[in-house]
Structure 1
């Protein structure tokens, strides 16, 4: 029994998304249909719309495609083999569910699943279409839609008391920072930490470092507004990136460099700066996606580590639950990350505002009917 859904479809890069009614096919045996309650608009969604999304090791997304990947919702229907969730459950979407049987999945690296095909679900193809034409799905999700079908492995059940319009943020931005801090860099109590770039993801790196017990957390960015917000999220020191002496100030504050450096801007220059501000024996983690084709040259320091990471190294079944509990306990800031909530019909206006730099913080696309129903 297929159904329909209003969705925002990208037919051509750098063109407005087309809002139209799509057909939603029945979920397969290992799939779940969800009503999307809320979807954060991430930089990756903007890059996809602009044709600048470049994920190492994967080909470009095929068009047409429905963007959106930072989502939470309510289960509507489940496939015949699904046991982990049932209709009515509240869930966060995990965009890296994996196939479950390749070497990477078996070793706990589902985010590196060798069977991943951009635009398709693990079982093959998409469950969205327009007048018989397949519409591809972004990151096993496509949350710029009133409803979608996702892999059952991509549904992480959460308590009903967790607000869905906050839970959606965990699916990408917050989990990316958590994975970088706890799994990539293994920040320990007493560590000193540098966060270079404190936008949406960088702020989450700051607060994850607080939870990990870091005692010195240095935020570096342009603009006093961002630095003030980083201090609100737990940064112990803030430095203006426009000051050419900021790396030496990091060295003065930490006695030679930080234990863990996090680069969240992803340009060759800032990657090198983060590397140089990290002490010998330390570790630098590049969290974001660098521009296509960019390279960086670093000096060889045998005792200094370098890694890429974040969301691709999380363990969603465990980590998402931890993050939900941290929020419910008042130890994780999610409300403060959100700048505006807007309906799906205004998605093109929001994308333009983000491109013009008019939005600081996450904009959430919300489906009020689903959210209001969740509270009853």
Structure 2
């Protein structure tokens, strides 16, 4: 079958906003679902800074690659052995297709699944090599088992989580990466308790989702830190109690928390910011790092911060989430008005607008842009389903 998809062929050494057009929409041939695989019509795909990191070469991936890893869609066809899903099901796509049997999966840490990591690193799928071919018959790799900047995609059934049909696609599209990673870092990795203090450095989609997670966990105060004033203002709408530019943050945090926060979330991907987070937490405090720095960056911090002050530095991949558990419960928090993720939606573009979207993302202006991959966003609620309205007191972002 044929599908249009966003393809990266060469790593762009220039930033996208400098005038380069690093990716193209191409018509590809997509093989049908094999054993354990599912064909999905993608309806909405969000842009994440991790996509930009692949485009500019910070995250090394096999090329050419069909991009996109945060999305929702509708099941079209199932391969042999698939019993969890049926045509017509609405699904969120997850970028770690955990096998369910390795040591990490058995220990409740599917985000660290070794088989998934190997499949994702190779540009294939959990159950086999790539199913994508270009017009010359050459292999095009999958991004993280998803490749969702496309009209159609085939994924492992382990990459899918069913979602209710009344959740708008634009809302649901942000739960497979941003919310899992940011809110998961607070709720799963840090296990933040009600009344504990939290600070979030970096207010992109993941950092703002960490603010949402802190709000849902009952933290106080919740301090948001970012150089962009508009992002600080949005953080206050999402539940932060205070917001500061980086130059003003450390003194304010110490005053608000009587010496230091109990949790700091680093969502920038900067060793310098990680080090400041360790300074911003109190004795016995925790720092959770969810940002993705370039592979050659090195962290230097005072060694005495750990044994001498009891501080912890924790890594968090995909928010230590169990997607089949966490996506439904985070959607319940959205319904309750505790995770108004639609406020992070800063624009909707067609698939052909991908380079403009990358430019906005690289500039720092955008939070979560959504690609209308199949022209479905103007018809949310079609197929006989009723679209849920935003919870009381929560503003709804336009779907287009």
Distance 1:157 1:223 in 2: 36
Measured on the aligned residues, the alpha-carbon RMSD in Å equals 1.5
CA contact (8 A) 1:96 1:312 kept: no
In the alignment, is the contact (CA less than 8 A) between 1:178 and 1:310 conserved in 2? no
Q: Which moved more, 1:314-323 or 1:300-309?
A: 300-309
Residues of 2 paired with 1:374 and 1:24: CA distance? 28
Please state how far the C-alpha of 1:105 moved relative to its aligned partner: 2.1
For 2:224 and 2:149, locate their aligned partners in 1 and report how far apart those are by CA, in whole Å.
Answer: 32
Partner of 1:334: 341
**Offset at residue 352 of structure 1 (A):** 2.3
Decide whether the 8 Å contact of 1:39 with 1:366 is kept in 2: yes
- The corresponding residue for 2:100 is 100
Aligned residue for 1:56? Answer: none
| Partners of 2:245 and 2:181 in 1: CA distance | 24
Check the 8 A contact 2:224/2:244 in 1, yes or no: yes
Match of residue 57 from structure 1: none
What's the TM-score once normalised by structure 2's chain length? 0.88
* Matched residue, 2:366: 360
Corresponding residue of 1:63: 63
Compute the displacement of 1:234 (Å).
Answer: 1.0
Give distance in 2, aligned partners of 1:268 and 1:331: 31
Aligned partner of 1:348 in structure 2 is 355
Partner residue, 1:262: 265
Instruction: Measure, in 1, the Cα distance between the counterparts of 2:45 and 2:214.
Output: 25
Once the 2 structures are TM-superposed, how far is the Cα of residue 186 of structure 1 from its aligned partner?
0.4
Offset of residue 328 of structure 1:
2.4
Q: 2:321 aligns with which of 310, 314, 321?
A: 314
> In structure 1, what is the Cα distance between the partners aligned to 2:291 and 2:370?
20
Distance 1:69 1:238 in 2: 30
1:298 corresponding residue in structure 2: 301
- State how far apart, in whole Å, the 2-side matches of 1:73 and 1:174 are: 17
Q: Distance in 2 between matches of 1:214 and 1:310?
A: 22
Distance 1:11 1:374 in 2: 36
| Aligned residue in 2 for 1:285 | 288
Matches within 5 A, 1:187-206: 187-206=192-211
| Cα 1:79/1:320, change in 2 over 3 Å | same
The equivalent of 2:251 in structure 1 is 248
* Separation of aligned partners in 2, 1:198 and 1:45: 17
Instruction: Indicate conservation of the 8 Å contact 2:46/2:173, yes or no.
Output: yes
Contact map agreement 1:175 1:310 (CA 8 A) in 2: no
TM-score with structure 1 length normalisation? Answer: 0.93
Distance in 2, matches of 1:228 and 1:340, equals 18
- Give the conservation status (yes or no) of the 8 Å contact 1:77–1:87: yes
SS in 2 for 1:44: helix
Give yes or no for the alignment of 1:375 onto 2:382. Answer: yes
Shift of 1:187: 0.5
Kindly state the Cα deviation for residue 122 of structure 1 after the two structures are TM-superposed. Answer: 1.1
The match for 1:223 is 228
Are 2:166 and 2:381, in contact at CA under 8 Å, matched by a contact in 1? no
Q: Which runs of 5+ in 2 are unaligned?
A: 13-20, 384-400
Change (3 A) 1:48 1:253: same
